[in-house]
Amino acid sequence: MNWYAIGVIYKQEMLRTWNTMLQSIASPVISTCLYFVVFGAAIGSRIETVGSVSYGSFIVPGLIMLSLLTQSISNASFGIYFPKFTGTIYEILSAPISFLEVVLGYVGAAATKSLIIGAIILATAGFFVELNIAHPFWMLAFLILTCITFSLFGFIIGIWADSFEKLQLIPLLVITPLVFLGGSFYSVDMLPPFWQKVTLFNPVLYLISGFRWSFFDVADVSVGISLAMIVLFLTLCIAIVWWMFKTGYKLRQ
């Protein structure tokens, strides 16, 4: 195992985060505050509670997931796309490192950054609403699994994309709608029966539901299914990344 290589890739990626601190850290904090003002205070004041949970608290897990998913994908995809774009990828390809080491470096850094952002949003939310976390261990487990899974997914997009437009395509057209329609801001019970069924096909629903369960002990779907779904997606991403490196897909001619 080339630990030095993993170390320098990780360090370089984290350094990029610190260099763009304002954009990396401040923007998720600001957008979270905006969501709290709009959904929590303005709209939430008319909803009051979902089940036994106040609406302000209810949206916290969804908000964190929204940021985690988009941040993980954009970080990891940009991290590997940029060297492809500038041509510096030659160094990675000609270095004595395996695909596992490349993934550990890039995806590890992207997931770390998302985790930091998740923690910051959680802390920010603490200023607006009262938060009691029912299952802290599972909360952390969901958080870490989601960061890793979606960073891997972002990594796949970064390798697949051959233009900045494609880099934005999946997050914009697929992820954002799925997160918004996955029960970030509402419980599935609030939907008409037909749409409740449709929503069950949205993988993000399971993520948010499981994560929300770890906070409030209430969930739209069973926690076991939530966990199975995220592990399934994680396995799928690992398999795709492995295949990409094995075949040199869009990396090595």
Partner 1 sequence: MQPIVSIKNLSKTYQSGHKALNNINLDIFKGEIIALLGPNGAGKTTLISTICGIVTPSSGSITVDGYDTVKQYRQTRAIIGLVPQELTLGAFDAVANTIAFSRGLHGKPADPAYIDKLLTDLSLLDKRDSMLMTLSGGMKRRVLIGKALAHRPTVLFLDEPTAGVDVELRKDMWNLVRELRDSGVTIILTTHYIEEAESIADRVGVINNGELLLVEDKSTLMNKLGSKQLTIELRESISGIPETLTKYELELSEDGTTLLYHYDTRQSRTGITSLMKDINAAGLVLKDLHTKQSSLEDIFVNLLQAES
Q: Which residues bind partner 1 (CB under 8 A)?
A: 2, 4-5, 7-9, 12, 15-16, 19, 82-83, 86-88, 90-97, 248, 252-253
Maximum Cα–Cα distance across the chain: 60
In the complex, the smallest distance separating the C-beta of residue 71 from partner 1, rounded to whole angstroms, is: 19
In the complex, the smallest distance separating the C-beta of residue 249 from partner 1, rounded to whole angstroms, is: 11
Using alpha carbons only, give the angle 51, 57, 63 rounded to the nearest 5 degrees: 115
User: 52 or 253: whose CB is closer to partner 1?
Assistant: 253
In the complex, the smallest distance separating the C-beta of residue 94 from partner 1, rounded to whole angstroms, is: 4
In the complex, the smallest distance separating the C-beta of residue 7 from partner 1, rounded to whole angstroms, is: 6
List the structure tokens of 142: 């969901």
In the complex, the smallest distance separating the C-beta of residue 102 from partner 1, rounded to whole angstroms, is: 10
- As a whole number of angstroms, the distance between CA 58 and CA 186 comes to 8
User: 21 or 201: whose CB is closer to partner 1?
Assistant: 21
User: 92 or 204: whose CB is closer to partner 1?
Assistant: 92
User: 4 or 195: whose CB is closer to partner 1?
Assistant: 4
User: 26 or 95: whose CB is closer to partner 1?
Assistant: 95
Q: How far is CA 9 from CA 155, 164, 177, 181, in A?
A: 14, 22, 32, 35
In the complex, the smallest distance separating the C-beta of residue 2 from partner 1, rounded to whole angstroms, is: 5
- As a whole number of angstroms, the distance between CA 3 and CA 205 comes to 37
User: 6 or 170: whose CB is closer to partner 1?
Assistant: 6
C-beta of residue 59 within 8 angstroms of C-beta of residue 35: yes
